[in-house]
Structure 1
């Protein structure tokens, strides 16, 4: 019988890699969401593999996707913690918004 590939490995790997980028640009929240989805997909494929391991050939890619997703999740959580910590150091949400407004005025960016 020909071996086939696990169905969600590629998308889980892509989501794990993209979660790295989202950690930087979304205060960690995007990275947490994408890596969570990737971990869900890898766990789904692990269950499928455990039922009939002889039918699938890309289990090593599945392990790689899971590791990448875990790293993305950890980076996302750390980024979120750092963002919350930074806002608290500025004096809370209102002080953060005030500082952001001042910076935007200095740069000449109009706000609504």
Structure 2
């Protein structure tokens, strides 16, 4: 009996969950789901050839959960950046946030001020 490749699906699903905060996990989760669907098609064509059809069904569920979490993360990232009208508004927000942190020194803030100057922002 052959085995379906559940390992790739699980690894890509975990990568999808780990990368959900930056919005890139969606890509890994979609790939995991596509692999799981294709593997399950092979299983359903002839279940007697494969010994781990149930495991692949479970891997597909994990891939779907990973995709949902990753899409939520992607939407969150898009919503965060959509609140800023332009780069200068984002830079101002970032500098204000850094200035409120008592552990941030003026030396650490200087690259942010330089960035604002490069973008032509009036602070």
Q: Decide which of 72, 90, 108 is 1:78's aligned counterpart.
A: 72
Corresponding residue for residue 85 of structure 2: 92
Structure 1 regions of 5+ residues with no counterpart?
none
Structure 2 regions of 5+ residues with no counterpart?
116-123
On the 8 A contact 1:13/1:64 being kept in 2, the answer is no
Q: Decide which of 49, 59, 62 is 2:56's aligned counterpart.
A: 62
Measure how far apart 1:45 and its partner are: 0.5
RMSD: 2.1
TM-score (norm 2): 0.72
Corresponding residue for residue 33 of structure 2: 39
Gap change, CA 1:92 and 1:83, over 3 Å in 2: farther
On the 8 A contact 1:13/1:65 being kept in 2, the answer is yes
On the 8 A contact 1:16/1:34 being kept in 2, the answer is yes
Q: For residues 23-73 of structure 1, give each alpha carbon's deviation from its aligned partner in whole angstroms, at most 9, with x where no partner exists.
A: 02x2x2x21000011011111101111221101011121111111111111
Whole-Å separation in 1 of the counterparts to 2:49 and 2:98: 58
Q: For residues 75-96 of structure 1, give each alpha carbon's deviation from its aligned partner in whole angstroms, at most 9, with x where no partner exists.
A: 111112122222333x334222
Determine helix, strand or coil for the equivalent of 1:92: coil
TM-score (norm 1): 0.78
